[in-house]
């Protein structure tokens, strides 16, 4: 089976080569030239590449499911005693497997474009597939020459080494593939952008072809970040949901760029403005996902994500990054002068607001990028430093607040130019909401912090303001795309409110406890009833049995201190009690020798903390509604005349 | 006032450039205040940062040095490398693999009396997961090796 997978991978790589060569033939032949049979092979080659990659990945899944220990990758990362779902997740819970997943998603997206994209002219479509092939070839070379997932191992070991226990979690089954769909979606947007630079056809048709991919990428990135944040929150047992860890930043940066791109590609599709701007953002978004992959996969950073500690691999990804990003930026510089400027607009208009959104997002992106790369650069120069949450909070939060302010009224501006008259009437509602939000936040806890209070005010304003674009519309006839926008903006207000509440209103209690002791926190009474050993499929643990009560509400909590057998590791498993107004979070650990009491218990009450992830899911839902709206319209207007501009958001 | 297309592109380019500049300036000023430097006990002995400044330290937990406070949640221990040692105080749940003789990295600040007050501890997890700062410190002798091993 391993040999079958390897053969499929080689064949897929050769299909990518064929796709690139024939695509180049088509490109040089130009719009009118036929380019012969060779040029017509682009689309079949893309389809074949997708199918072969899927076959290769399927065979790796099979090898992991049956735990074929004669395969090096399986032996190193799996174990006979591992639960089935983690055997499956183990397929991509390692460097080689995750890169194969990446290239598989890339190839399948290429096949999807080849087979289903009907809006683009033939020339740009072929150019897009050519760029896709060039991207895929780089990753095929990376896999086949430095990270062969199908390498055999001799002699065959007895049991296998196991998977990092931190990663033995249901969240892992979905977190990496979700992010990869996002990264790869951005690579498709990149291919469109480079193709449009090559053919010079940058306009609404190009934007409409690119938009669903950006939307798809953005939905997956949003979900991936939300899931990763929740995973860190309950799995690490530190009570935090975001640590500004470089690996987290690696997923946040493409998201910021994708968010900017999503908004500007809409302007290009509807108004034919922001041509060069949109192409540039597409290049940056892909550069960020490549940089993210490089940071995470190169071993420059040490974390649960860094599987590869092999300088050769890091250098390879860095080389790919430089070639693709450098090449595309060079192409941009050479070609952009020949792209004519799109339609113009006044700054006080919907376009202007979106430019503002883009600029603020780019500024945050720049701040995160600098904070992430600076320690690496400094280390290369011999200084060991770290940049932590204080930097990111101080530099990025004020700009994010500015963005929320803009978001309250931006979506209500008219295209091209706005006289501001309509705004005055409508804005009263969000302003009242924002001020009352701030007053309530300050009254509840005056020392919650000025940023916390402002954020809660802006969230209240946005929670109301997000719905204003529906004002004056017949709700039943409002297009899904508008609903999507409204939903996503509302989700942002919810998430921001959750973050502010967590930052300003959490309570924390750290105590040494004996069985029978009681601790109090934020109206809760937590009693440690007992501590007992428990056994799981591949771990043993000490489990605290706690009774947490507030009024009539009495529930049990069972945090664990867990020991894994293979590889030998300890983790703390937090216990969470979710209520409508927040979460009670408990962690237990043995106190160690010489302590007065045998157990250390850490308790948090985090009001409204669930809003953070709820907001993330609502944002993604908004994206899904918009995507659905686009797809439905695509069906309705199959091969239409010019798409009706009034409907487009 | 009609906007000429050429002017509009220029305006957008200027806006984009000023966003980049703003990001750079904000980042530079925040970095100057918030960056924390990494010290080993010996480098700390040579060049002491001001008390209260956020720093990160790393080394080995000296065997026999861990003592628990009367409240049951705070601990004191000594972090050492080959030439020097440093007293550390920490309040909280210690990381899973925090044991005497193992490597540790701590975020925190020096108190006026020279004790390091740790806000968070990061222990050496396993062979595959070493805190970045400890990767080139020899775990047996506490000596910083000249040639970087894992990178």
CB contact under 8 A, B73 and A355: no
Distance linking the first and last C-alpha atoms of chain A:
49
CB contact under 8 A, B34 and A311: no
CA gap A7, B140 in Å, rounded: 46
Residues of A with Cβ-Cβ distance to B66 under 8 angstroms: 592, 594
3-state secondary structure of A308: coil
The winner for highest mean pLDDT among A145-154, A292-301, A622-631, B5-14 is A622-631
Is residue A642 within a helix (H) or strand (E), and if so which, with residue range? none
Is the omega angle on the peptide bond into residue A358 within 30 degrees of 0, that is, cis? no
> What is the CATH T-level fold of the domain B36-124, as seen in this structure?
OB fold (Dihydrolipoamide Acetyltransferase, E2P) (2.40.50)
Give the residue on B whose Cα is nearest the Cα of A593: B68
Eight-state DSSP code of residue A567: T
Is residue A376 within a helix (H) or strand (E), and if so which, with residue range? helix A350-380
Residues of A with Cβ-Cβ distance to B4 under 8 angstroms: 344
ipTM over the 0.90 cut-off: no
Largest CA distance in chain B: 79
Eight-state DSSP code of residue B15: H
C-alpha atoms less than 13 angstroms from C-alpha of A286 in its C-beta half-sphere: 32
Give the residue on B whose Cα is nearest the Cα of A566: B126
Residue among A526, A508, A505, A509 nearest A607 (CA): A505
Contact, A466 vs A493, CB < 8 A?
A: yes
Residue B91 C-alpha, separation from nearest chain A C-alpha, in angstroms: 9
Residue B20: which pLDDT band, with cuts at 50, 70 and 90?
Answer: confident
pLDDT at A642 over 70: no
In this predicted model, what pLDDT tens digit does every residue of A240-296 receive, in sequence order? 899 898 888 989 999 999 999 999 999 999 888 889 999 999 999 999 998 887 777
Give me the residue from B3, B27, B94 closest to A371, CB to CB.
B27
Contact, A596 vs A604, CB < 8 A?
A: no
CA gap A546, A519 in Å, rounded: 11
Taking a contact as any Cβ pair under 8 Å apart, which residues of chain A between 509 and 548 contact chain B?
510-512
CA gap A318, A565 in Å, rounded: 36
A345 close contact with B: CB closer than 8 A: yes
CA gap A573, A557 in Å, rounded: 11
Eight-state DSSP code of residue A157: P
Taking a contact as any Cβ pair under 8 Å apart, which residues of chain B between 115 and 144 contact chain A?
125-126, 128-133, 135
Contact, A494 vs A614, CB < 8 A?
A: yes
Give the residue on B whose Cα is nearest the Cα of A278: B12
Residue B148: which pLDDT band, with cuts at 50, 70 and 90?
Answer: very low
In this predicted model, what pLDDT tens digit does every residue of A299-357 receive, in sequence order? 566 444 444 456 677 788 888 889 999 999 999 999 888 887 778 888 888 889 999 99
Beta bridge partners of A470: none
- The reported pTM is 0.89
Contact, A539 vs A165, CB < 8 A?
A: yes
CA gap A394, A403 in Å, rounded: 15
Give me the residue from B24, B92, B96 closest to A510, CB to CB.
B92
Sign of CA dihedral A435, A440, A445, A448: negative
Residue B77 C-alpha, separation from nearest chain A C-alpha, in angstroms: 13
CB contact under 8 A, A591 and B72: yes
Residue to test with chain A: of B74, B96, B124, most A Cβ within 10 A:
B96
3-state secondary structure of A556: strand
In the block, residue with structure tokens 């893309």: A46
CA gap B59, A384 in Å, rounded: 14
């Amino acid at each position: 089976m391993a040999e079958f997978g390897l053969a499929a991978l080689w064949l897929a790589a050769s299909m990518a080569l064929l796709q690139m060569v024939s695509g180049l033939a088509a490109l040089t032949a130009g719009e009118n030239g036929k380019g012969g049979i060779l040029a017509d092979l682009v689309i079949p080659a893309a389809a074949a590449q997708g199918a072969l990659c899927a076959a290769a990945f399927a065979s790796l899944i099979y090898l992991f499911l049956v735990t074929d220990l004669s395969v090096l990758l399986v032996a190193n990362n799996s174990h006979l005693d591992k639960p089935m779902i983690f055997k499956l997740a183990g397929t991509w819970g390692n460097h080689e497997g995750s890169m194969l997943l990446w290239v598989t998603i890339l190839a399948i997206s290429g096949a999807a474009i080849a087979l289903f994209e009907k809006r683009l002219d033939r020339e740009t479509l072929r150019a897009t597939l050519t760029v896709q092939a060039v991207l895929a070839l780089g990753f095929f070379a990376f896999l086949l020459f430095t990270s062969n997932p199908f390498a055999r191992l001799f002699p065959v070991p007895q049991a296998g080494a196991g998977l990092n226990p931190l990663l033995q979690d249901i969240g892992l089954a979905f977190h990496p593939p979700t992010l990869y769909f996002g990264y790869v979606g951005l690579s498709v947007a990149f291919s469109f952008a480079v193709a449009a630079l090559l053919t010079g056809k940058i306009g609404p048709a190009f934007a409409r072809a690119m938009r669903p991919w950006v939307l798809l990428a953005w939905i997956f990135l949003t979900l991936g970040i939300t899931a990763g944040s929740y995973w860190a929150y309950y799995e690490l047992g530190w009570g935090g949901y975001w640590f500004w860890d470089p690996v987290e930043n690696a997923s946040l940066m493409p998201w910021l760029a994708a968010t900017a791109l999503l908004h500007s590609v809409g302007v290009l599709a509807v108004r034919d403005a922001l041509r060069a701007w949109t192409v540039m953002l597409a290049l940056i978004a892909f550069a960020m996902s490549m940089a993210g992959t490089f940071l995470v996969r190169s071993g420059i950073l040490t974390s649960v994500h860094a599987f590869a500690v092999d300088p050769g691999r890091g250098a390879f990804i860095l080389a790919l990054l430089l070639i693709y990003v450098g090449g595309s930026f060079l192409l941009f510089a050479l070609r952009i002068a020949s792209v004519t400027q799109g339609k113009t607009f006044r700054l006080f208009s919907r376009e202007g607001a979106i430019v503002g959104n883009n600029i603020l997002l780019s500024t945050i992106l720049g701040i995160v990028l600098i904070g992430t790369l600076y320690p690496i650069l400094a280390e290369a120069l011999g200084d060991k430093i770290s940049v932590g949450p204080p930097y990111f909070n101080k530099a990025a939060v004020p700009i994010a607040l500015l963005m929320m302010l803009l978001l309250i009224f931006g979506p209500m501006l008219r295209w091209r130019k706005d006289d501001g008259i309509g705004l005055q009437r409508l804005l009263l509602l969000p302003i009242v909401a924002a001020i009352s939000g701030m007053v309530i936040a300050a009254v509840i806890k005056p020392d919650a912090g000025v940023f916390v209070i402002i954020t809660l005010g802006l969230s209240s304003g946005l929670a109301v303001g997000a719905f204003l674009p529906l004002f004056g519309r017949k709700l039943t006839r409002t297009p899904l795309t508008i609903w999507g926008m409204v939903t996503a903006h509302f989700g942002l207000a919810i998430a921001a409110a959750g973050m502010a509440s967590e930052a300003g209103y959490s309570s924390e209690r750290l105590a040494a406890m004996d069985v029978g002791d009681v601790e109090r926190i934020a109206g809760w009474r937590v009693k440690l009833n007992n501590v007992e050993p428990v056994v799981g499929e591949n771990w043993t643990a000490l489990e605290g049995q706690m009774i947490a009560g507030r009024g009539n509400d009495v529930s049990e909590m069972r945090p664990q201190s867990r020991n894994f057998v293979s590889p030998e590791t300890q983790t703390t498993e937090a216990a969470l009690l979710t209520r409508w107004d927040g979460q009670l979070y408990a962690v237990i650990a043995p106190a160690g020798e010489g302590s007065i009491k045998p157990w250390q218990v850490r308790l948090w009450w985090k009001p409204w903390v669930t809003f953070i992830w709820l907001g993330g899911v609502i944002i993604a839902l908004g994206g899904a509604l918009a995507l659905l709206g686009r797809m439905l319209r695509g069906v309705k207007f199959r091969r239409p005349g010019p798409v009706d501009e009034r409907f487009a958001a | 006032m009609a906007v000429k297309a050429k002017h509009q592109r220029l305006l957008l380019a200027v806006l984009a450039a000023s966003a980049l500049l703003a990001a750079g300036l904000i980042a530079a000023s925040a970095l100057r205040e918030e960056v924390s430097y990494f010290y080993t006990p010996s480098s700390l002995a040579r060049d002491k940062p001001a008390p209260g400044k956020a720093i990160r330290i790393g080394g080995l937990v000296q065997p026999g040095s861990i003592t628990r406070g009367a409240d049951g949640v705070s601990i004191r221990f000594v972090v050492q490398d080959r030439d020097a040692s440093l007293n550390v105080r920490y309040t909280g749940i210690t990381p899973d693999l925090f044991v005497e003789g193992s490597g540790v990295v701590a975020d925190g600040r020096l108190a006026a009396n020279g004790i390091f007050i740790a806000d968070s501890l990061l222990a050496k997890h396993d062979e595959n997961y070493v805190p970045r700062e400890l990767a080139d410190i020899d775990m047996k002798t506490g000596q910083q090796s000249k040639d970087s091993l894992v990178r």
